Amino acid sequence: MGLVSAVDATRGLAHAWVEAGHDVVERPMSDGAAELVESVRHARGGELVPVVVRAGVSDPDEQVPAALLHVPGRAGGTAYVETSAALGWDEAGTRAAARLVREGTTEPVADLVVAAMETGAARVVVGLGESAVHDGGIGLLRRLGVLLGVPGGLAAVETLRQRLRHVQIDVAAATDRPLLGLHGAGAALAQFPGVGPAVAQEAERRVGEVVDQVLSRSRPDGGSAPTLTSRPRPVVRPTRDPGTGAGGGAAFALAVLGGRILPGAEVVAAEAALPELAGEADLVVTGCTTLDGTAMHTGVVAAAGQAAMAHGVPVVAVGEQVQVSRRDGARVGVSATYPIRDAPARGLGGQPAPPPADPWDDIVRRGERIRRTWAL
């Protein structure tokens, strides 16, 4: 939640309840982008595997550590990977977006997928979110061919599908943007600083041309492309299907190879057994940085609300900013929303008073107020 990790935010909201003697189950959450690995690890344990990959740009010397978790289980268990750092978008969002649009590549995602497979996992969960990288997943496909010894470049897509058939790849998508189109990941590039509509349009055109080649070769007989997601809706054009634009199009490439694109928050909720735990609770407290329409549609708050709503359990949501009405929350089972910090009092000369230096204190205080209001 902002500068506070999901684990710390969860602990802060639970603090007052624990101190008052309530039974509390803490489950940090992620929408599939940042903190996917730590959220799953908190719920299920597992082994962190150190991985270093290049940072999603053309400079091979620019490398970053990436998160990979292996949870043992039947048939090799499951491996979880995060890609935000690998795609060149650090936590502070300080990397030049224009450079990522020009030079960015999804190649590092291939390195992470192969590293996950090397743990022996039969299932690989790949967390993908918004990204200024936008190559349509072409870099991933080419790099995967090199790593798996499959020559032929984009012409070898069907061979790659066969090589990966023994591994279930699930994309935990933090965004439902399609790869192409008016509301797709390409068009969304214009929102990044220094990019603009012209650069975004050129990136869209470039990716569209190459993706057409991939789709035409994704079946040896040249037939129709596979259904790219498990969502119960018809696919008119694969590049316009929800979630294919996640991770600069890495989601599209993984789906072409046989993977499933799933809502990231719902994936994490399932891994954390949230639907089952909600049935045993009297209250669910959740939150995210900004409580807006996205949070109430595909984000962590929506996943928590839907899990609790199935059992008739009330949900309270908190955020640094609250931009939704009570009606918006009610649609996903949220009974009340609160800002982490109340509107600041006016200081001398009518100026706002400076906010507290430690966001942890804000979270703990809000948790205490929620306890006093909602404790049974």
> What pLDDT, in 10s, does the model give residues 312-332?
999 999 999 899 888 888 888
Q: What are phi and psi of 93, to 5 degrees?
A: 65, 35
Of 150, 154, 174, whose CA–CA distance to 164 is shortest?
150
Burial of residue 7 (CB within 10 Å: 0-12, 13-18, 19+) is middle
- Report the alpha-carbon distance of residue 326 to residue 353 in Å, rounded: 28
- Cα distances from 18 to residues 279, 333, 369, in angstroms, run 20, 24, 14
The predicted pLDDT at position 138 comes to 93
Rounded to 10 deg, the angle between the 36-44 and 6-19 helix axes is 40
The predicted pLDDT at position 96 comes to 76
Burial 307-333 (b: 16+ CB within 10 A, else e): bbbeeebbbbbbbbebebeeebbeebb
Burial of residue 72 (CB within 10 Å: 0-12, 13-18, 19+) is middle
Of 56, 66, 44, whose CA–CA distance to 126 is shortest?
66
Q: What are phi and psi of 303, to 5 degrees?
A: -65, -45
- Ranges of the chain with pLDDT below 50: 91-94, 220-236
